[in-house]
Structures are given as structure tokens and as C-alpha cells.
A and B are shown apart, each in its own frame.
Chain A
Amino acid sequence: MIDTYLIPLLKILFVLNATLVGVTYMVLLERKVIAWVQVRLGPMRVGPYGVLQPIADAVKLILKEDITPTRADKWVFTAAPIIVMVPALITFAVIPFGPVVNLFGRQVPLYITDVNVGLLYIVSVASIGVYGIILGGWASNSKFPLLASLRASAQLISYEVAVTMTLVSMIMTAGTLSMVKIVESQYNAHLWFIFVQPVAFVLFFIGGLAETNRAPFDMAEAEQELTGGFHTEYSGMRFALFFLAEYANMIVVSSVATTLFLGGWLRPFPNIAALSFLGIIPSWMWFLLKTFVFLYIFLWVRATLPRYRYDQLMRLGWKVLIPVAIANVVVTGIVMVLF
């Protein structure tokens, strides 16, 4: 009874809260990191060193007037931000933060559930998130947001193909679709998969940048664009949901990359007993550290690189990433058969 209902419920509540807090503080982290790269300080006023800035932002957005355009489709207008946010959050159901640990005398696995098609579940749920963007642009009942949203979603579904192809080669390497077993197979192979599949790692990262609409692939939400982007008509909490969903997607991509390529919760060199003093740092802490590294790289890339033009971005996805990803699958297959 407790094991089937209470513990998963507690885990869900915990992960959900942690994710939402994390997403809110990602806002602050981005502003701070980019500011420090740009020889500025970032938010400094609210709280010591600006630490309470996200709370101020949240309060401001909640108190804003709730405007819905007159002829917009009310239900869809409200549902669009939700449709973007929910898939990002429910992905965390299958991400393993750590192995089975002993907590208060019980064996508690540090993940909510282990679906046997975990990786595919994540990809499929991410593809539902595209609807929010399309509907957000359409529900605003205005030509420019609709065109911008169609472009943004075209970008997303194009890069989904490349990312899925990359994941196929990872599935072949790991031999399983379940997230927990992928980490375990890295333990058994004595190697993080980033060393086995460096090409797949690079492709996944670039695809992840494009999937989350981050620089250098963020033409859809660039301020220099003439059209206002798909969230022009949104204000207040709905707008906040769109943006938080982007950060949530970033965290999802980082977590998946950590699990697939950096060994998830495993400490460096998990099979070498001599380094077992590294076990002082708990497994979930290793996971968070690795995810954090990826998030930092996301922000770093945004501060440094210029932006691709939309057609160059699509050309990169279709003509470069997808062929390389398919070639990677073929090469992986050949290597697996020969050795």
C-alpha cells in the first residue's frame, strides 16, 4: 500500500516542486551567467546578490492583468502555455536521479518509475510540446504570431528527427530503452558513453539547442525579428509559463544528456575501487552536478555565438545533422556486428 501509492506520490511531489523551483532559478542563473560573461553584474538589488529576483519576477507576473485578445479562441489561448509546460514536467517521471538507496529503512529507488520504453517516452512527450507553440500562435488570432509559431514549430519537428536518430544509435549502444538500464549498462561497460559515441553526443547537444529554441537557433524569439514571435499576445502568467517551459525543456535535455552520455548518477570511474572516496558525494549529487554543467554550457553558448538565420538553421538540420545522425547509426551497427 505504502510502496505502491504513498512513496511514488511523495516522489512526484518532490520532483515536481524541485523542478519548478529549479526552473524559476534558472531564470536568475541565466541572467547572472550572461551578465558575468558580458562584464556586468546582473540582478543585484533584490535580496543579497539578487538571489530573490525570481520571486520578484514571479510576483510581478502573477499580479499582471490577464489580457485575452477579443477574437482569440479562449480555451485554446489558455491551454497553449499549459500544453508547452506539461510535457516538460512529466518527462521527469522517468529520469533516474540515483540508484536504489536505503531511506528510513526502506529500499527506495531514486526515480519515480522505470518504464521499459523510457527513452522513447521522453521523445514522444517532447513531440507533444510542439502543439503548445503552434496553438499559442494560432490562438492569438493575428497573422504575425501565427507565422512565427509555424516557423518555430517547423524548426522543432525538423530537429526532432535528428535527435531521434541520435538516440537510436545510443539505444543500440546501450541495448535497452529503459533509462535506468542505460545507466547500468554504462556501469557494466566501465565507460561513460560519451567516449563510445562522441559524434552522437555533439549531435544530441546541437539538436537539444535547436529543440529548446536556444541560441544560436533562437531566431523565432529574437527581439530583432520584425514579427513579434508566437508569444506576442501573451502577458502575465501565461507568458511566464511559456518561458518557464523553455527552461524546463533545457533541464530535460540536460538530464537526458547526463543519463545517456555522462553516466547518470555514476561517479567518475565507478568500477575503480581506489576512487571510492568519491562516493562521499551522493549519487544524486553527481547527477545534479553533471546536469548543471550542461545547463551552464547552454548559457555559455547563448552569450557567445551569433544567431543563425532561419533558412540556414533549417538547412543545417536537414542537410547536415540528419545525414550525420543516420551515418552514425549505420556505423554503430557495423561496429556492433563486427566486434
Chain B
Amino acid sequence: MNQAIAFYVLSAFILGFAVLVVSTRNTVHAVLYLVLNFLAVAALYVLLTAQFLAVIQVLVYAGGIVVLYLFVVMLVNLKRPPEDHSAPQRHSWIGFGLSGLVLLELAVIIGYGSIAPPGPANAQNTDLAMYNVEKIGMLLYTDYLIPFEVASMLLLVAMVGAIILAKREL
């Protein structure tokens, strides 16, 4: 009962902030709403007794990635005052078309997903809270090792690319 209330409240926050992210005119405000969104998602993870994931969500997403977004937004903003960022002409039909396409894609994926059997990970509900970190560690380094390594390679490539693009001379 309490869980349900908490879930609905949190979802309202998440959706509300998400809408604010795309609808606000001020870019920095949009980033800040994104942070609040991520914090609400972290709270949702706590509700699902995935405390480790919640903390990692705050640490990595809200506390790292969005900070970098904020840096970029502020440095770009430096060149021109906030007033210049008013939207010139919104071709809204492009936006609606694209979002319709994405919605269709998601519907298809969910539709197929519900037919397929559930995935291999089944949680042992006893002591779930205690063995959170160990479970994730085991899964990550045994079953999902290759995606893990591929992801780290991708990040490395992105970092090296960014450095090469930005450095004046090597």
C-alpha cells in the first residue's frame, strides 16, 4: 500500500520533470530538471530494493554525466546571452513525426518482449538487499562480460576522440 503510493508519487515526479526538461526555454534549467529526474529514478530503484543501483545512478548519472552536460551548456552559453536561444521557428510536424516513429518502435519491442520468455536472471528474494553488490558483480563479470568489455572500449574510444578533437597540438 505504502509502496504503491510511493511509486505513483515518484512516477509523477519523473514524468513531470521529464516534460519540463523538453518544454523549458532555458537550457540550464533543462539540465537541472534532468538531474532531478535522475534523482527521482534513483529513489525508484531504492523502492525496488536495488540500493546499489540507486547509489550508482546518483553517482554516475546525476553526479558525473549531467555535470558534463552542464559544463558544455554553460560554456556554449558564454558566447551568446540567454535571450539569443529563443527558438526561431519550430517545425513542430517534424518533431511529432519523429516521436510517433519512436513510439511505434517501442510498442513493437514491448509487444515482442511480452511474447518471449523471461530472461535468465531470477533474483533470490531472501537477503536480496545484502547481496546486491555481489549479485551484480557476479553477473557483470561472468554472464555479461563481453558487453561490459565492449562498453569500456566504447568509452575509451570516445575519450580519445574527444581529446584529439580538442587539443591544439599533440
Contact (Cβ within 8 A) B74 A150: yes
A128-B55 in contact given A116-B130, A146-B78, A150-B71 (Cβ < 8 Å): no
Chain B 65-87, CB-CB to A under 8 Å as 1, else 0, gives 00100110011001000000000
A128-B63 in contact given A116-B129, A146-B78 (Cβ < 8 Å): yes
- In the complex, B28 has a CB within 8 A of chain A: yes
The 9 closest A-B pairs by CB, nearest first: A127-B63, A124-B59, A124-B58, A120-B55, A124-B55, A117-B55, A117-B51, A117-B52, A121-B55
Contact (Cβ within 8 A) A120 B74: no
A58–B109 Cα gap in the complex (Å)? 59
A128-B132 in contact given A115-B51, A117-B52, A157-B67 (Cβ < 8 Å): no
Q: Kindly provide the distance from the CB of A134 to the nearest chain B CB, expressed in whole angstroms.
A: 6
A130–B133 Cα gap in the complex (Å)? 26
- In the complex, A153 has a CB within 8 A of chain B: yes
Contact (Cβ within 8 A) A138 B28: yes
Chain A 182-211, CB-CB to B under 8 Å as 1, else 0, gives 000000000000000000000000000000
B28: contacting residue among A76, A117, A124, CB under 8 A: A76
Contact (Cβ within 8 A) A127 B74: no
- In the complex, A125 has a CB within 8 A of chain B: yes
A127-B64 in contact given A116-B130, A138-B28, A150-B71 (Cβ < 8 Å): yes
A128-B58 in contact given A138-B28, A150-B74 (Cβ < 8 Å): yes
Q: Kindly provide the distance from the CB of A75 to the nearest chain B CB, expressed in whole angstroms.
A: 9
Number of residue pairs spanning A and B whose beta carbons lie under 8 angstroms apart? 62
- For the A-B complex with A116-B132, A146-B78 known, give 6 more contacts whose Cβ atoms are closer than 8 Å: A116-B51, A124-B55, A127-B59, A131-B70, A134-B71, A135-B32
Interface size on A, residues (CB 8 A): 24
- In the complex, A177 has a CB within 8 A of chain B: yes
- Residues of A whose CB lies within 8 Å of any CB of B are 73, 76, 115-117, 120-121, 123-125, 127-128, 130-131, 134-135, 138, 143, 146, 150, 153-154, 157, 177
Contact (Cβ within 8 A) A125 B51: no
Contact (Cβ within 8 A) A130 B63: yes
A residues near B70, Cβ cutoff 8 Å: 131, 134
A residues near B63, Cβ cutoff 8 Å: 124, 127-128, 130
- In the complex, B35 has a CB within 8 A of chain A: yes
Contact (Cβ within 8 A) B51 A130: no
Contact (Cβ within 8 A) A131 B51: no
Contact (Cβ within 8 A) A131 B67: yes
